[in-house]
Each structure stands twice: as structure tokens, then as C-alpha cells.
Amino acid sequence: MKRRKFLGTTAPLLASPFLWTGRAAFSFPSSKDLIIGHHSHRYKVDTKWGDLDPKKHPIKDAHEMVQSKDGALYLLTNHTQNNVLVYDTAGRLINSWGKEYPGAHGLTISEEGGTEYLYLTDYERHEVIKTTLEGRVVMTLPCPLDSEQYESPEAYKPTETAIAPNGDIYVADGYGEQWIIHYDAKGRLKNIFGGREHFKNAHGICLDQRQVGAPKLLISAREQNKLKTFSLDGEFLEETHIPGAFICRPVIRGEEVYLATLVSKMPMDSQSGFICILDKNNQVISVPGGSDPLQKGDVSRLQQTLRVFQHPHDVCVDRDENLYVAQWNSGQTYPIKLIRI
């Protein structure tokens, strides 16, 4: 990783008045650098990254982001003027596409046979759509009525996907019946597990390959403040409780897990979000925008301490370990970049 010189201290900034700008959450003196995070994971905040003309390239909610092999960043929004905005890491627009995904929510990238594909979940269309990087549809997965767990397609509201090394597809029905649906690479149903016995808002899912030769699934149970681990066959293995963190999907980079935390208290529009970073043992080690998880005293419940974010919905980690934070219900704003220092 490319290390950067430490850019200052947060102490003077924490005492500064923060004013509502409508851009990210709160402004800070432009002459100073705002540093957030703790210990080994600190970041300089760039709230101007990726700003575009909202008349030409509007955002309703900035839901999720991924990075392709060539370094391009794909942002998924639920604005049907442009569902996907493609950036370079400097925040310049490369491309935009998509007008047919009103419930665009989850975005996963997968390399298959040397070609990269995107998997979009749309909870209003009640389906998963696999596309090329340019937006051409190559496969659609509708409501799995053959699983006998759904009475109608409207009950199916998928929020995220994960792709196994053999091409198998796992879909989290986080806004619907809370099932995890397992397909083969061609979209044939193999298994269904989870459900309301295990999840209250199975919001996000990802493949965990941190243990060599033993891939697993990490699944966020957002309203339970828990990250749950399952085998690829659907067996429940363990869970990690993160009190105060209503976590969205897990994103793994190296040995660490990154979690956008929508809020730290109810209601869901309380504008109290932050980012959680977990180590290889799924222990919280840094909370950009939130309380220090390793400080002395009572740290049983994480909370927002600095209003940089409103409702973080996803974290994308680039090759230099910079973070891009997409936000839900946050003034239709573009992502915030956190530059690793």
C-alpha cells in the first residue's frame, strides 16, 4: 500500500463550528485537512470528489460502488436518468448508463473467464440482473417461485449478491423474506437457507476467502447489528455482534472487513452513520466518523462522534486502500472519498 505523510490532527477541527451544506454532512474549514479514523486506519476527507452537474447526472440514492480491473469505479444509483455512473479515481466521469432500474440497490463485480460482469439487484423489479460493464444484460434472475418460499414475485426484494469461485450465485433477499438463494452459474436454483429464523434485514452478503481453502459467506443482519458467517452450503457457523452499528454489506480487502454503517441509532433517518473497519478476527479496529473502538472505558456501543456522514450505504476500497463512501438519503449527494494516510 502507498503510505502518505500524516496530514494533521483532528483536535482543532473537532472544536470548529460545522455548518450544514447539503453536500455531504457538515462543512469544515477548507484551509485545514479533516482526518478521521483510528490507529492504523486514518483518512483525509475529500467531500468534493466526484461532484457532477446534478441536472445531467443526478443521484437519488448513491447505493453501492465497485472497482474494475482497469481501475474504473462503478457507482449504482436508483435515479433512472443514469443508474450507473463510471468514474476514474480522480473523480472524473468516464461513462454513464441505465434508465430501467428504479429499485437499483446492490452492485457486485465478478471476473468470469477473464471477463468482468456486474450483478445488480433491483427490489422494485424483484430480480437480479447480470450485465456487462457497459450495461448489456446477459442474464436475469427473477423471484425463485420454484423454491416454494414465495407466494408472489412482489414478496421478493433482493438487496445484494455474492459470487463463488465456481460461478455460483448467492442472493440476499434483505428487503423481502430474508432468504439467501443459491444458484449455479447458469441461474439454476440449488439451495435456499437463512430466512427470518436467522435474519432481520439480511442486507448484504459477500464471499469471505480470508482463510485459504475454506471460503465462507459473510452476511450482514443490519437491524440486529450483527455480521453472520455461513458455509457455502448454507450452514450457520458464527456471528459477530457490533452494538450500535446498523451495518450494510461487508466488503473484504486483504484480511480486513469494511462496513458502511447506515445509522448508529434509530430511526433509520437519524443521520448518525459512520464506517466500521474490522480485522481478520472480525474485531472493530477503526471507526471513521465514529467512536474509537479501542479507547479505555465503556465501548460496548459504537456511535457517531463527527458528522462527516449522514447515511453511509457502501464502502469501495481501491488499490491504494482509499475508501469511497456512497450514501443513502443524504441530499442526493455524490460519494465521499477517504484518502488513506
Q: Is the pLDDT of residue 18 over 50?
A: no
The pLDDT-based confidence of 278 (bands split at 50, 70, 90) is very high
Coil, strand or helix at 55: coil
Rounded percentage of the chain residues whose pLDDT exceeds 90: 88
Residue 296 has a pLDDT of: 55
The pLDDT-based confidence of 299 (bands split at 50, 70, 90) is low
CA 63, 108, 95, 259 torsion-angle sign:
positive
Q: Which residues pair with 119 in a beta bridge?
A: 108, 130
Q: What tens digit of pLDDT does each residue of 25-50 get? A: 444 555 578 999 999 999 999 999 99
Residues contacting residue 80 through CB under 8 Å, at least 6 positions apart:
98, 99, 100, 101, 102
Instruction: Report the distance separating Cα 105 and Cα 285, nearest Å.
Output: 28
Position 275: which residue type? I
Degrees to nearest 5, angle at CA 29 with 24 and 35: 70
Sequence spans of domains, the chain = 11-340
Instruction: Report the distance separating Cα 313 and Cα 145, nearest Å.
Output: 29
Instruction: Report the distance separating Cα 50 and Cα 195, nearest Å.
Output: 38
The pLDDT-based confidence of 83 (bands split at 50, 70, 90) is very high
Q: What tens digit of pLDDT does each residue of 128-156 get? A: 999 999 999 999 999 999 999 999 999 99
- CATH among 3.30.300.30, 2.120.10.30, 3.20.20.150, 3.40.50.300 for 11-340: 2.120.10.30
Q: What tens digit of pLDDT does each residue of 189-227 get? A: 999 999 999 999 999 999 999 999 999 999 999 999 999
Q: Is the peptide bond before 267 cis (omega within 30 degrees of 0)?
A: yes
Average pLDDT of 111-117? 97
Q: How buried is residue 64: exposed, middle or buried, by Cβ count under 10 Å (0-12/13-18/19+)?
A: buried
Nearest to 283 by CA among 113, 38, 57, 105: 38
Residue 8 has a pLDDT of: 32
Contact 169, 141 (CB under 8 A): yes
Average pLDDT of 172-185? 98
Q: Is the pLDDT of residue 22 over 70?
A: no
Instruction: List strand residue ranges (DSSP E) for 29-168, in order.
Output: 35-38, 41-46, 62-67, 73-77, 84-87, 93-97, 104-112, 115-122, 127-132, 137-141, 160-163
